[in-house]
Chain A
Amino acid sequence: MACSVELKNVDKSFFTLRGRVDVMRGISLHIEPRELFVLLGPSGCGKSTLLNMIAGLEKPTAGSITIGDAVVADPGRGVFIDPFRRNVAMVFQSYALYPHMTVRANIAFPLTNLKPRPPAGDIGRKVREAARLLRIEELLDRKPAELSGGQRQRVAIGRAVVREPKVFLMDEPLSNLDAQLRTEMRAQLKELQRRLGITTVYVTHDQMEAMTLGDRIAVLNEGVIQQLGTPAGVYAHPSNVFVARFVGSPPMNLFEGAVKRDENTRVVLRTADGDILLPERLGADLVAQGKERCILGIRPEHIEPVAAGQGNFDSRISVVENVGSEYLASLFLKSGHIVVRAQHEPQPGPAGLRFASDRLHVFDAGARSSVE
């Protein structure tokens, strides 16, 4: 019963009193059956809009959307299936529980809309099953107002799972929970999705959630897909500066500068904060390509603090934070806030930074996309 979801060249514009707002451009995605697919992007990039289009709550302006074998939206051919005929389930950013109904009635609601309507006995059994799955059995007779945030969230998920939909759509379901509950619910959600084997599109602005949950993730910015791939793949090979900064915490360090030779004819990146010595291979490649300016990226864990003069770059560590299992050293440079992640406590003051030479990322200074 697991369905694929396919979007082809989907555009979305809103037509408001103040004119046309283009929110989404050329979105193409193929989501496999049973996959847990994560849409990751900053606030306002169009994640909810994309989810709403799959649900049928918004119509695409152009392009087509297919769920399973059925084309559900294709404005070019005048096709649009109403949301209540799509058999998808959605957990809303706001939970959207029906406040005048008990938890039991909330969870039963999708079943009562089926045609033909299942017998009361079946509905009751399925509601109890869903409640047991989510451990909210003792809450069934309460109203939403009498529940905590985490409980409401479970009810919202219960309402989604109760009728075995073709696709689950989840719009930042964990964003309003406290950190501890969020981690717990994240693991539970993943386990639940595996067990039910229902294709899921999960929206979040939290890169941590995306990394831990997703089979694959799509990074979205300003209505355009920036990169599509496995969490590990996206983390290891960000395709542009936006993805490099957005995925990973603390984010990747970036240095922009000119490719030059220093007095010893070694290839360096001349930045506002001084010369960064490039590894021989990389330097040779950049010179061979005739690159004059580029952006060098390196993740905090791939920098090792060493004695001044021993690394690729000499600078000053300003602050060292102990975050429990490791240390975060901060450098406030003209290039920005540079973070180094270290196992052993670095000392504030002058230091050299040694970059792991096989972990350097180079981005084009103009297009800001990866050159490799």
Chain B
Amino acid sequence: MARPGIPEETCKRILIAAGAALLLVFALSPFFWMLWVSLTSRPDFLFTKTVEYTLANYTNVLTSPTLHFTDYFRNSLIVASVTAVAVTLIASVAGYAVSRMRFPGRVAIPLFVLAMSMFPPISIVGYLYQWFSSLGLVNTHAALIFPYSALTVSLALWINMSYFAQIPVDLDRAALVDGASRMAVLFKIVFPLALPGIFSAFLLVFIACFNEFLFALMLTIDPFAQTLPVGIALFEGLHGEVPWGNLMAASAMATLPLVALTLIFQKYIVQGLMGGAVKG
């Protein structure tokens, strides 16, 4: 393919670089747009001659008593972390059981869980509202934690199962013979080796919960329990216009925990932990 004069290797590199650049632009441009707007004083700066940079939007969002940004932020953190921790734990233990132990249903259970998560949320949220009302759960963190857990556990389960499948069963067996109980095998051998998978599952569940909108909109009522996506969507401007600056500043700050988590976990989500386990 390469024309004489241009080595094939160079061609390949150019193509890879171009592809990567395209992907980055595509993924990051909305994010930069958001940052840009959040740092300007007027959202309609595109149609004016001058651009004025300011941090006013941020201070406003953080300090305004009517915007409740910190309440939403706290609620989101609580709901997302409790769900992610619970789901990761359940999915790890369950994933171990279905990928390693012989019992009736070990094939059916993961499929069943997967099927559960396929219901369109809109089709169950109405019923959930009625049910949670009768239980007095509406407008609490629990109202979100339960459905989020139920809907994300299949994601975590399937990720974990695929990671556990890569760990040689002989390691479990060796540990059992070495005197480790099933639980000890899980915590001393399987979990440490499946950490990249478990962290990926944690991260994906956390992100899904942190960004979820529909359930949060329907099952919570006020800043006591509402989460960031709902809270930000309900931001109101002074004269009924959309407060773009505040919206973008709040959104930018809302992505911070996700960026931080990803950066922290990124170094664990590396492959190559398995070297030297078995011969050959």
Residues of A within 8 A of B (CB): 52, 55-57, 82-90, 92-100, 109-110, 113-114, 143-147, 149, 152-153, 159, 163, 169, 176
Contacts and interface: CB of A to CB of B under 8 A. Distances in A.
Interface in B144-172: 168, 170-171
A93 B170 CA distance: 9
Interface of B: 168, 170-171, 173-181, 184, 188-189, 192-193, 273-280
Given A57-B173, A96-B173, A100-B193, A110 B178 contact: yes
Give the top 8 A-B pairs by smallest Cβ distance, nearest first: A144-B276, A145-B275, A145-B276, A113-B179, A96-B174, A94-B278, A96-B170, A110-B178
Contact of A143 (B170, B177, B193, B275): B275
Contacts of A88: 177
Given A92-B170, A92-B173, A98-B171, A144 B277 contact: yes
A10 B280 CA distance: 33
Nearest to A142: B276
A84 B189 contact: no
Nearest to B181: A84
Given A94-B279, A99-B276, A149-B279, A109 B175 contact: yes
A113 B273 contact: no
B274 A99 contact: yes
A59 B79 CA distance: 44
Nearest to B179: A113
Given A90-B174, A92-B173, A114 B179 contact: yes
A85 to B, nearest CB: 8
21 contacts: A56-B176, A56-B177, A83-B177, A92-B173, A92-B174, A93-B170, A96-B168, A97-B276, A98-B175, A98-B189, A99-B273, A100-B192, A100-B193, A109-B180, A110-B178, A113-B178, A144-B276, A145-B276, A149-B279, A152-B276, A159-B178
Given A89-B177, A94-B277, A99-B277, 10 more contacts: A83-B176, A83-B177, A84-B178, A88-B177, A92-B170, A96-B168, A99-B276, A144-B275, A144-B276, A159-B174
A303 B168 CA distance: 49
B168 A94 contact: yes
Most buried by A among B171, B176, B178, B278: B178
A201 to B, nearest CB: 13
Most buried by A among B274, B276, B277: B276
Nearest to B180: A113
A159 B7 CA distance: 53
Contacts of A55: 173, 177
A16 to B, nearest CB: 10
A81 to B, nearest CB: 12
A153 B280 CA distance: 12
A82 B178 CA distance: 11
A87 B170 contact: no
A153 B170 CA distance: 15
B225 to A, nearest CB: 41
Contact of B277 (A89, A98, A110, A113): A98
